[in-house]
């Protein structure tokens, strides 16, 4: 079994896990601020060995920095604290791995990583486009996070998988820039070819999964993927140069069975393994 709480940040490590318990712009059902602790708790019941990746977490040098202390009601302050934590990772030459929290936490992480890697590409798994210019007049919202990121790194440097919800304008934008792709085998091969040897930031909004297997999220969308589709994606990404990543939008209290937290923890395991392999 693996347990994040057994890992001390003072130990030598290549990947640093950082909890970002923030859901201040949640527009439907809040609760993703409880995600990081739920993933940690569930991790204790997950094996370290991944049979699909033929790899074991025992060989991965990662550490858990715990949760950031984030001020409630101050979105810009929250983003600044996250940015500082990711900056510190890059100064220490370790890969930041954020546990959300809502999807807006990805923005300051990408800003920091992009500053170090100007040829960065961003791969997003999500049910939602998150490409709005603003949401109810607010530009710093979970619903706008990929628009802000696309403006930063360039739409041509973004790929989005699993999207099944968005406005007409968002779909026009994504189709126009060619950011949309799928989990089909040919598309995954094309995705990896597109990435090439460029550095990758991987952001996984866990609502990419179908609510039937992942009900514990704030904005569930029917028609999502199941575990084996995610596993096929992960295997395709082995060997890519992942320099930053996150897993966001687990709201554990919305799934009293605890299964969503377990699935999230297993996703984190697989993501740690391919990051180390990269």
Q: Which residues are annotated as a binding site for Mn(2+)?
A: 103, 126, 128, 130, 205, 207
Q: Is beta strand 55-56 parallel, antiparallel or unpaired with respect to 49-50?
A: antiparallel
Q: Residue positions in the annotated binding site? A: 103, 126, 128, 130, 205, 207
Whether cis (ω within 30° of 0) applies to the bond prior to 101 is yes
């Amino acid at each position: 079994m693996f347990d994040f709480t057994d890992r001390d940040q003072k130990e030598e490590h290549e990947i640093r896990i950082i909890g970002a318990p923030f859901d201040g712009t949640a527009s439907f059902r809040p609760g993703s601020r409880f995600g990081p602790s739920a993933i940690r708790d569930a991790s204790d019941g997950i094996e370290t060995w991944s049979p699909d990746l033929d790899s074991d977490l025992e060989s991965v040098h990662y550490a858990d920095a715990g949760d950031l202390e984030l001020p409630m009601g101050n979105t810009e302050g929250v983003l600044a604290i996250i940015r500082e934590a990711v900056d510190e990772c890059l100064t220490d030459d370790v890969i930041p791995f954020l546990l959300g929290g809502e999807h807006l936490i990805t923005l300051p992480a990408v800003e920091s990583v992009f500053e170090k890697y100007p040829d960065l590409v961003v791969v997003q798994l999500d049910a939602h486009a998150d490409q709005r210019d603003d949401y109810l007049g607010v530009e710093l919202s979970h619903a706008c996070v990929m628009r802000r990121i696309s403006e930063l790194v360039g739409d041509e440097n973004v790929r989005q998988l699993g999207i099944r919800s968005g406005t007409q304008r968002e779909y026009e934008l994504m189709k126009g820039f060619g950011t949309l792709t799928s989990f089909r085998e040919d598309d995954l091969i094309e995705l990896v070819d597109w990435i090439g040897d460029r550095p990758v930031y991987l952001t996984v909004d866990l609502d990419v999964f179908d609510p039937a297997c992942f009900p514990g999220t704030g904005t569930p969308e029917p028609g999502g993927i199941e575990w084996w589709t995610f596993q096929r994606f992960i295997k395709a990404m082995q060997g890519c140069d992942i320099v930053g990543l996150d897993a966001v939008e687990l709201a554990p209290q919305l799934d009293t069975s605890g299964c969503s937290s377990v699935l999230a923890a297993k996703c984190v395991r697989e993501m740690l393994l391919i990051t180390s392999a990269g």
